[in-house]
A and B are shown apart, each in its own frame.
Chain A
Amino acid sequence: MLVASIVHLFPRGSLRGRRALLAALVWMVSPTLVACTKKDFQSEMDRVESWTATTHLAADRRLHGATNAAVTSQLAHRATKATTEAEKSFSSLAKSDSERVAAQGALDSLRQGIIQLERVSR
């Protein structure tokens, strides 16, 4: 709609020019239009491991008095959300038994990390 109305600001422009302008604007704005749903098993494993490492670092920093309870509980909440999303993703992405075992192991480690983080956030 917006793009179309912009193109109509150029009534005397050539058809090719208007098309080029339209294409340029669509090209530029396309990232906002594309919801990125592309996921693969390894990237999902990396994401789970990243959140596990985050829970360890956050718990350690909280124990040293370097952070407040608010950020610790917010990170625990974010990590829990990441666990739920990863569970759903792994159900479709893990194709072999070894992948399923690896995914389960990674999720268990993350859950342990969340428990530890929730313990220190109180």
Chain B
Amino acid sequence: MKKWAEVALGVVTSIGGFLEVGSIATSIQGGAQFGFQLAWAVAIGTVCLAILMEMTGRLAAVSGRSYVDLLREHMGVRFFIIPLVAVMIPSFLVLISEIGGVAIGLQIATGIAFQWWAIPIALVGWFLLWRGSFKMVEQGTAVLGLVSVVFLVGAIKLHPQWNAIGESLLPSAPSHDKVKYWYIAVSILGASISPYLYLFYSAGALEDGWSLTHLGVNRVTAGLGNVFGGGLSLMVLVCAAMVFLPRQIGVDAYEQIALVLATPLGRAGFALFLISLCITCFGATLEIALSGAYLLAQGLGWPWSENMKPANDARFATTYSILILLAAVPIAVGMDPLKLTNISMVLSAASLPVTVTPLLVLMNDRQVMTTHANGWLGNSALVLISLMSLVLFFVAAPLYVLGGG
């Protein structure tokens, strides 16, 4: 019974934690410009994330150590500097974007300019991280984030052609504006498979005290949770395709995005969109700040745990404090959150090879994984994801420049 409760909570956490500023913005841009055609990018991103989360979760449950810790030990400190920098830069940009997402939501709700909200949001976030536990961060915001189910209600009310959505789950060539199409596809993949998501998941498995008995929980949480979460992301794309595409509205600003649910659901839809944007972005703000601190602390061998008092893991607590407070500054000085979101999603996509490829080595190390090492199916999936991440690395920057990000 306790196990089932854990599974249910894990799935709910994954659903609520899936949507954030990047997945909302990129899905809306994709739907507004290309209708359902980019549904495949959401689907592929979701499947890849589910696989990576299952593997990093299994690695933590079997070895009792985090992915970052093992990465540094097996590859050496010098190699570790590469993923550290390659993940920290985009993650920090995503962190700024998430604070921007909350700030924009509050601006739309209150009329007070988003710049004024940045520092208060960061301070509230910092206070919760400083005083709260891992369970509070992980489950509190994720359960509240279930309000984003409103996108499913909105999509149903818009009466889309479900068979057309189903057909779009298979990749197809763009009918127009090829560079923009691939640029948005890369952005959607970057938003779905952000490295902070599976690094946070791996650290979270240890925070929750996972062991070999949790392998089933891990599989269901990573699989079902992401399928439902990805489904919600797909519904965001569907809503944008039904509301913006027929009117030929290309999305340049978050204020335009706020209209997406006001059309099918009226005032309630508008209000729930704002609540959803604020909660999901705030939840992601906490997760990314923690993820950055996990990355540094686990990589450099510092004591770390969100469940410990800050005095006992001072360097870990200092890292997330600096990250969250520093990330508020660009928003406070007026940096455009949507432009920053676009840049950070492309950079996230480009940073994937340095964390995905070493996972292949670790998942096949029998000393670490014992009898739970990857089989041929897991290895094939990981090789495909590694190849895709290499392609993303090479195409992300040119597509951003040519696609007019």
Contacts and interface: CB of A to CB of B under 8 A. Distances in A.
Interface in A23-53: 25, 27-32, 34, 36, 38, 43, 46-47, 49-51, 53
Interface stretch (A70-78, A87-95, A98-106): A70-78
Contacts of A49: 248
B350 to A, nearest CB: 5
Nearest to A13: B78
B109 A70 contact: yes
Interface residues of B, number: 43
Given A50-B248, A68-B109, A75-B256, A28 B263 contact: no
A18 to B, nearest CB: 12
Interface string A57-94: 11001001111111101110010001000000000000
A82 B252 contact: yes
Contacts of B111: 68-70, 73-74
B351 interface: yes
Contact of B397 (A6, A27, A69): A27
The B interface is mostly helix, strand or loop, or mixed, namely helix
A115 interface: no
Contact of A10 (B78, B86, B108, B256): B78
A82 B252 CA distance: 10
Contacts, number: 114
A80 B116 CA distance: 22
A74 B266 contact: no
A1 interface: no
A30 B347 CA distance: 9
A36 to B, nearest CB: 6
B252 A47 contact: yes
Contact of B343 (A6, A9, A32, A54): A32
B347 A50 contact: no
A51 B259 CA distance: 13
Nearest to A37: B404
A111 B256 CA distance: 17
Given A32-B347, A78-B255, A66 B401 contact: no
Interface in B254-273: 255-256, 258-259, 262-263, 266-267, 269-270
Contacts of B393: 27-28
A75 B111 CA distance: 11
B255 A71 contact: yes
B250 interface: yes
Contacts of A31: 343, 346-347, 396-397, 400-401, 405
A78 B115 CA distance: 16
Contact of A57 (B89, B263, B404): B263
Contact of B108 (A6, A47, A56, A70): A70
B247 interface: yes
B110 interface: yes
Interface residues of A, number: 40
B387 interface: no
Contacts of B256: 54, 75, 78
A26 B397 CA distance: 10
Contacts of A120: none
A57 B270 contact: no
A46 B343 CA distance: 22
A34 B401 contact: yes
B184 to A, nearest CB: 14
B167 to A, nearest CB: 27
A49 to B, nearest CB: 6
Contacts of B82: 21
B247 A28 contact: no
Contacts of B351: 28
Contacts of A70: 107-111
A31 to B, nearest CB: 4
B401 to A, nearest CB: 5
B253 interface: yes
> Lowest 6 A-B CB distances belong to which pairs?
A70-B111, A31-B400, A66-B262, A50-B250, A53-B247, A66-B266
Given A25-B85, A66-B262, 12 more contacts: A2-B85, A6-B81, A9-B78, A28-B351, A29-B89, A30-B397, A32-B343, A50-B248, A57-B243, A57-B263, A68-B109, A70-B109
Interface of A: 2, 6, 9-10, 21, 25, 27-32, 34, 36, 38, 43, 46-47, 49-51, 53-54, 56-58, 61, 64-71, 73-75, 78, 82
